[in-house]
Amino acid sequence: MIKDQIQQQAAHIFDEVVTSRRHLHANPELSFKEFETSLFVQHKLKSWGIPFTTMANTGVVGLIKGDLPSDQVIALRADMDALPIHEANDKPYVSKNKGVMHACGHDVHTSSLLGTAYILSQLKAEFAGTIKLIFQPGEELLPGGASIMIKEGVLENPKPDHIIGQHVMPFIDAGKVGFRSGIYMASTDELYVTVTGKGGHGAQPHQNIDPVLIASHIIVALQQIVSRNADPRLPSVLSFGKVIANGATNIIPNEVKLEGTFRTLDEEWRLEAKRLMKKMAEGIAESMGGSCEFKIMNGYPFLVNEPVLTDNARTYAEDYLGKDNVLDLDIWMAAEDFAYYSQVTDACFYRLGTGNAEKGTTYSVHHPNFDVDEDALKVSTGLMAYIALKQLGN
């Protein structure tokens, strides 16, 4: 059976996958600067005789064709970039690049897809169809590497019928995976607001136009967009995480800068909410004697898992891991540039459990203590290979 062959190959490659993951973790690179990571991936593919091309500067796209005839094509995607975070772990594979860390598990994604590539390369005589391997840069930084790779033709020549991605989840135990059909993750937009007034002495507020006070009113009032304008059945999140007012205890500054994020799950509401926020912020500033520059950097769309593909993948996962190890996921208001793929082709994005309380791997992604239970790599490589081959009809 193909499952038995995959499991045997996954066990054979496991130690090498762990070694690759630790190498990548120790040598993280920021978004769109994954030069050594890209070369590492290319070297591995070349050593296994897997042809590949490069695109989006550091992206790598491999191709494995089964020896049996079929026009079916499926793409498998991993992201390669790290985050600007100083790692706080004390492990032999701790980041060597100060201030840069694989705090979102992209080292796991890349090493796992390499393991999957090896498994599939060993089974070419056993399956029909073509598998496209997408090693993508820049997931963590707008405009997102996925959007660039799509523009450069990653979903063409050959055109995949489906695309599959997996992502670590520390809140799920290692050995388990999670799926959700339909809309799964939120869109994300970045907000950059500059409130301008007239600075001066804090003891003479009547002679000034206080941008701190104006900005405070704007922050509070904009929450009304979510609480009173959004359909209460539709999740929306508006958060400001950066406020800069470079005055002092007795100095009112000339301007205040705000930075935040808006996330939701509906494109029409997303567009309308941004229009309302801009109008409200500018109106408040003007009514209080100041002015407001409200810039919006449009980010990733919402991520939708195609129901038939996702239900199939879940069934294959239950067959590979057992039903008790396959969980239902709730909506997740984080964002992911895999969403770009989901907007143009049938997609399934599932979660790989990496948590283990005894091993201390339950810290959230983007935390300086984030790490994974590497036993998850026993699942990540073989499962993706199995889903791919089953979806191709093998």
Q: Is the pLDDT of residue 283 over 90?
A: yes
- Residue 334: name the closest of 225, 235, 232 by CA: 235
CA angle 309, 77, 32 (to 5 degrees): 145
Q: Assess whether 81 carries a catalytic annotation.
A: yes
- Confidence (pLDDT) at 1: 85
Q: Which of 139, 173, 337, 374 is catalytic?
A: 139
- Strand partners for 255: 196
The answer to whether 216 and 258 have CB atoms below 8 angstroms apart is no
Q: Give me the domains of the chain, ranges plus CATH numbers.
A: 2-184+300-391 (3.40.630.10), 189-297 (3.30.70.360)
Q: Which residue has the higher pLDDT, 284 or 1?
A: 284
pLDDT per residue as tens digits for the range 350-389? 999 999 999 999 999 999 999 999 999 999 999 999 999 9
Q: Is the pLDDT of residue 196 over 90?
A: yes
- Confidence (pLDDT) at 394: 85
First-last CA distance in the chain: 10
- Residue 86: name the closest of 392, 373, 366, 295 by CA: 366
Q: Assess whether 336 carries a catalytic annotation.
A: no
- Confidence (pLDDT) at 22: 98
Q: Which of 29, 34, 79, 81 is catalytic?
A: 81
Give me the percent of the chain exceeding a pLDDT of 70: 100
Residue 342 confidence class, pLDDT cut points 50, 70, 90: very high
Q: Tokens 């994020």 appear where? A: 261
What residues have CB less than 8 Å from 323, skipping those under 6 apart?
none
Q: β-strand 200-201 against 251-252: which pairing, if any?
A: antiparallel
pLDDT per residue as tens digits for the range 45-65? 999 999 999 999 999 999 999
Q: What is the 3-state secondary structure (H, E, C) of 242-254?
A: EEECCCECCEECC
Mean pLDDT of the chain: 97
Q: Once rounded to an integer, what is the mean pLDDT over residues 23-51?
A: 98
Distance CA 110, CA 37 (A): 9
- Confidence (pLDDT) at 234: 93
The answer to whether 356 and 370 have CB atoms below 8 angstroms apart is no
Distance CA 373, CA 199 (A): 53
